[in-house]
Homo-oligomer: A and B are copies of this chain.
Amino acid sequence: MDVATYQALIEALNKAGHRLTAQRLAICRYLASSHEHPTPATVYAQVRQQLPSLSLATVYNTLALLRELGVITEMGADMGGTRYETDAHPHVNLICLRCGQVVDMPLPDLTAVQAALAAQSAFELRNLRLDAYGLCPDCRQSQPLSADEKTTYA
């Protein structure tokens, strides 16, 4: 698990005056150890192994809280639910338009961009996110967007 990320999550909760319950700590621990982009259901299933009494509603509550604090971000709900990602290290998400696969890549330096945005807007910025949409190697090869596919991204 990424300890720095874990502590960042905990500290965000703490600083905002939210209680550090066993459920929240466990969820944060999982988020800090997952290098994927889990859905609420996934988080629930995994954390439940350590905390059998955990409720799905609590997972939703906690994810919403962390999202509002800006320490995790919500990705499009492509299939089977919204996915969340922990903002550990800045990166670009390469997202396949067809199968929804997400690949991470190192992020170019955007601090200048962020500074410019902060200066030009009245928003209190928490984080930036750069997504690149396209077709992954598999889908690209299987058939470049042709007529006989109407099916949804499954």
Chain A residues close to B by CB (< 8 Å) = 10-11, 14-18, 20, 61, 64-65, 67-70, 73-78, 82, 92, 94, 96-98, 103, 105, 108, 112-114, 116-117, 120-137, 140, 144-153
Contacts and interface: CB of A to CB of B under 8 A. Distances in A.
Majority DSSP secondary structure for residues of A touching B: mixed
Q: How many copies does the complex hold?
A: 2
Given A69-B145, A121-B94, A64 B153 contact: yes
A68 to B, nearest CB: 5
A79 to B, nearest CB: 11
Nearest to A108: B113
A29 to B, nearest CB: 12
A122 B137 contact: yes
